[in-house]
Amino acid sequence: MVDLSRIKDLFNHFFVNEQHGFCRAKSRSTIALIFYSYLAETVASGGQVDAIYTDLHKAFDKVDHGLLLAKLHKLDLRYPVLSWFSSYLSKRSQLIQIGNSISNIINVTSRVPQGGRLSPLIFLLFINDLNKCFNTYNFLLFADDMKLYMSNRSDEDTISLQHDLDQFSLWCSLNGIFLNTSKCVHISFNRSKFHINSLYKWRPS
């Protein structure tokens, strides 16, 4: 039997600090505390905070097994651990039954196992390299929900933030992940008369 708690403890220190989903001593409350502390300090000093809330479309269904194993290899994990993950993900199949009709069996080479106790952990490992996208933005994650935010004090800042958003778009393309743009929101927080009219675009790579 797999000791889930031991596996989580093994990988907990691999996760980026910005990840708050399914991590020990972290939650949506810790995300709110970090963000609103930053927001209050920036706005109180007369600054503007631009925040972008993103929604990844069926992200748990898009985890490519081969790409995941390649990412795990880059973490310098020892062979037994990599072998176990490979075994856990391989030789999975599925079929669909509607009434008396049954579909053909197909091999599953992507998505995390539905309902699996390790599925959240596997997904967190898959998106753990997201931090490489952002040079300007701050970001916070709760599993696949991401908040990008940064102080914006000039048009140059807007350009820099757009560049990071473009890098995120490239990451999504390389990893087979799609953004649900209808559920993404951009909000500018500002209390002063000075307001930067920032506009950000999602440009699929």
Per DSSP, the three-state class of 177 is coil
Average pLDDT, the chain: 85
- Structural domain tally of the chain? 1
Q: What is the pLDDT of residues 14-38, one digit of tens each?
A: 899 999 998 888 999 999 999 999 9
Domain of residue 172, residue span: 4-63+116-190
Kindly state whether residue 104 falls inside one of the protein's structural domains. no
Q: What is the pLDDT of residues 112-166, one digit of tens each?
A: 766 677 788 889 999 999 999 998 889 999 988 999 999 999 999 999 989 999 9
CA distance 10 to 87: 18
Kindly state whether residue 202 falls inside one of the protein's structural domains. no
Kindly state whether residue 43 falls inside one of the protein's structural domains. yes
pLDDT at 75: 81
CATH number at residue 130: 3.30.70.270
